[in-house]
Amino acid sequence: MLGNDPVLLTPGPLTTSPATREAMLRDWGSWDAAFNRITQSVCADLVQIVHGENDYVCVPLQGSGTFSVEAAIGTLVPRNGCVLVPDNGAYCARIVRILERMGIAHVALPLGEDEPATAAAVEDALNRDSRITHVALVHLETSAGLLNPLDAIAAVCKRHGKRLIVDAMSSFGALPIDLRDGGIDAVISASGKCLEGVPGMGFVIVRRTLLEECAGRSPSLALDLHDQYVYLRKTAQWRFTPPTHVVAALRHALDRFAAEGGQPARGARYTRNCAVLIEGMRDLGFEPFLRPDVQAPVIVTFHAPRDPAWRFADFYAAVREAGYILYPGKLTQVETFRVGCIGAIDANEMHNAVAAIGRTVAALGLHVR
Ligand SMILES: *Cc1c(COP(=O)(O)O)cnc(C)c1O
């Protein structure tokens, strides 16, 4: 089914279905009504996945996921705002860098890379610093694969009257996100993660009344979500050249998503993939970095073997030769590597991946335990 291409065990780009790739075998004009209808239906579906039909709009944006994170912050946070950033990994740190670049005041809430943010810690930070106007939360910290408790933190933000912007890049579609409780103001994700599209566009699902207050606020023209929204609404077209093939592939990927059974079914498949992966890797002697109760079923960080002969680059190359692409670690303190369990792959493929890793360990003569 996948031809001779290696299977991507990475958090995006990931392995897509052949039919999703085939959806790109046409050219669309950006002015064409047929393409504009695709954009509209994609946006409508994305809002529905997180139950935002009544009060939220989806603004798509060209570029990788970070472009949409930067666009959301630049458009939704006023210059004199102050953003609390619970920090347990590289994607949280990236939000802090974006805020620094924009000269927006912020307060980091430092946490361990294996330590979820808690509602109590967020509440404590809000009580300590009355300057804080917004909270920027990474739902699933892809650096370690760590899940942060979104609903509990959203409830705190709502109670304190703070705006909550959620980087749900690697959780959207796989884990439940529900905008109906009203504590979340904006959710950001992208085409090429758990929706199993190809990379190239992000999107921000944002409370309509909030976005409408944000005219002229973005310091960037290309990343101005309000401008993109107004133009799309007026003309049905993207401002600036749309990633037409990416949008068409996402349309197809969303059809597959619905046919599979939506978020609950996708989450269940990834959960099975993750269980097979962790169990198989443990049998080989590899230890997961995270405790099971904070491990999200999207990407798993494993401790590197203590064997002095361990070189990730050699291991990567040998596993690639066996048909699977692994991912380097992204933690600051410990030597790790990561294996994704998302994409158009099932538990059977995960069994095969673990078997290939086992053969590679043996062939390289690595001592894992
Ligand atoms: C993938 C990802 C992003 C976006 O990264 P890009 O390299 O711009 O695609 C942002 N946040 C999280 C949590 C992610 O997993």
170 lines ligand 1 (CB under 6 A): yes
Give the three-class secondary structure for 273: helix
- Last residue of some domain: 238, 259, 280? 259
pLDDT along the chain (369 residues), means of 10: 80 94 95 96 98 97 98 98 98 98 98 98 98 98 98 98 98 98 97 98 98 98 98 97 98 98 98 98 97 98 95 95 93 91 97 97 94
Q: Do 183 and 271 fall into the same domain?
A: no
Q: Is residue 1 part of a domain?
A: no
Domain of residue 268, CATH code: 3.90.1150.10
Q: Do 237 and 117 fall into the same domain?
A: yes
Distance 324 CA to ligand 1 centre (A): 21
Q: Do 138 and 218 fall into the same domain?
A: yes
Amino acid at the residue 65: G
Give the residue among 223, 214, 206 at the shortest CA–CA distance from 68. Answer: 223
Give the three-class secondary structure for 138: strand
Q: Do 241 and 309 fall into the same domain?
A: no
**What atom of ligand 1 comes closest to residue 66's alpha carbon?**
8
Q: Is residue 217 part of a domain?
A: yes
91 lines ligand 1 (CB under 6 A): yes
Give the three-class secondary structure for 262: helix
Q: Is residue 114 part of a domain?
A: yes
Domain extent, residue 112, equals: 18-259
The span from the CA of 122 to the CA of 85, in Å, is 9
Domain of residue 117, CATH code: 3.40.640.10
Would you state the pLDDT for residue 257?
98
User: Number of folded domains in the chain?
Assistant: 2
Q: Do 168 and 307 fall into the same domain?
A: no
Distance 191 CA to ligand 1 centre (A): 11
Q: Report residue 150 as tokens.
A: 């979104």
Q: Do 224 and 203 fall into the same domain?
A: yes
Q: Do 248 and 266 fall into the same domain?
A: no
Would you state the pLDDT for residue 1?
44
138 lines ligand 1 (CB under 6 A): yes
Would you state the pLDDT for residue 332?
79
Q: Do 139 and 272 fall into the same domain?
A: no
Would you state the pLDDT for residue 3?
61
**What atom of ligand 1 comes closest to residue 168's alpha carbon?**
13
Q: Do 270 and 230 fall into the same domain?
A: no
Q: Do 48 and 149 fall into the same domain?
A: yes
Give the three-class secondary structure for 300: strand
- Last residue of some domain: 221, 241, 259? 259
Q: Is residue 369 part of a domain?
A: no
Distinct helix (H) and strand (E) counts, the chain: 12, 14
The span from the CA of 159 to the CA of 135, in Å, is 13
Q: Is residue 2 part of a domain?
A: no
Q: Is residue 181 part of a domain?
A: yes
205 phi and psi angles, rounded to 5 deg:
-100, 115
Q: Do 189 and 322 fall into the same domain?
A: no
The span from the CA of 104 to the CA of 73, in Å, is 9
Q: Do 177 and 300 fall into the same domain?
A: no
242 lines ligand 1 (CB under 6 A): no
Q: What is the pTM of this model?
A: 0.97
Q: Is residue 201 part of a domain?
A: yes
Determine whether 105 is exposed, middle or buried from the number of CB atoms within 10 Å of its CB (0-12, 13-18, 19+): middle
